[in-house]
């Protein structure tokens, strides 16, 4: 079997390991490692981490297959769901795997791995890209992940809600917020949803507490205080 045939076979996998290649070329593991090293040097394959390789060009196909279990979220998921026009060069992978690498770089793409507690590992679905199964955060969970991990500002999340609330399931969003059991998250989303006249926001009131927090954790803690939700409204222009 020549190299072109081998690469065609490998292209049927999102990622693969030494054993996969060994079975294809019908050689032992020591020989296969040398063979794979030659393919790497020729840039026919990319090594993602120890014993994980790919020949795929679409980073979304690769992302949720590097660490297990995992799913794609944040900006890449927002773009997939058409909630932003930004074209991210970084793909955030959410995982419960504590030993996962923090970052992997490929040409034109960077994978960032964010560890979350098992309680928060939900709200993703299986999609298909070029006949490959990919695990992607649902749009509502993507917004929640952004605030839970504090990787996207509350101001940007509020802007997305303003422009796309009609495209989202407010019921699912509130259900997922309650499921996280995170009170600060409930306060922030509670204010945002109620300010947009979303009736589901009332379900979050039971999670509020007396301590006042900034609505946007990335901006100065200056602005009008909302005593009902216990937040300082520091999004938009700060007076």
Residue 100: the pLDDT is 61
The residue ranges of every structural domain in the chain are 3-54, 59-141, 153-233
- The pTM for the full model equals 0.92
Residue 157: the pLDDT is 97
Residue 8: the pLDDT is 97
Residue 238: the pLDDT is 46
Residue 114: the pLDDT is 95
Token reading at 113: 């791995």
CATH assignment of 3-54, among 3.40.50, 1.10.8, 2.60.420, 1.10.10: 1.10.10
Residue 73: the pLDDT is 98
Ranges of the chain with pLDDT below 50:
238-239
């Amino acid at each position: 079997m020549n190299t072109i045939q081998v690469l065609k076979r490998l292209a049927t996998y999102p990622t693969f390991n030494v054993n996969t290649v060994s079975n294809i070329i019908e050689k032992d593991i020591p020989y296969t490692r040398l063979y794979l090293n030659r393919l790497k040097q020729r840039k026919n394959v990319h090594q993602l981490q120890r014993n994980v390789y790919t020949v795929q060009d679409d980073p979304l196909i690769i992302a949720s297959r590097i660490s297990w279990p995992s799913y794609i979220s944040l900006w890449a998921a927002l773009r997939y769901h058409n909630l932003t026009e930004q074209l991210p060069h970084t793909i955030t992978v959410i995982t419960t795997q504590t030993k996962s690498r923090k970052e992997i770089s490929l040409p034109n793409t960077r994978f960032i791995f964010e560890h979350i507690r098992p309680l928060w590992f939900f709200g993703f679905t299986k999609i298909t890209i070029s006949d490959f199964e990919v695990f992607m955060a649902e749009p509502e969970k993507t917004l929640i992940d952004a605030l839970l991990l504090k990787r996207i500002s509350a101001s940007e999340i509020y802007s997305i809600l303003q422009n796309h609330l009609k495209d989202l399931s407010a019921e699912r969003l509130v259900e997922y917020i309650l499921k996280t059991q995170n009170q600060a998250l409930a306060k922030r989303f509670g204010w945002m949803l109620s300010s947009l006249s979303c009736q589901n926001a009332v379900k979050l009131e039971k999670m509020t507490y007396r301590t006042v927090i900034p609505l946007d954790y990335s901006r100065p803690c200056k602005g009008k205080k909302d005593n009902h939700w216990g937040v300082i409204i520091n999004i938009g222009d700060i007076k």
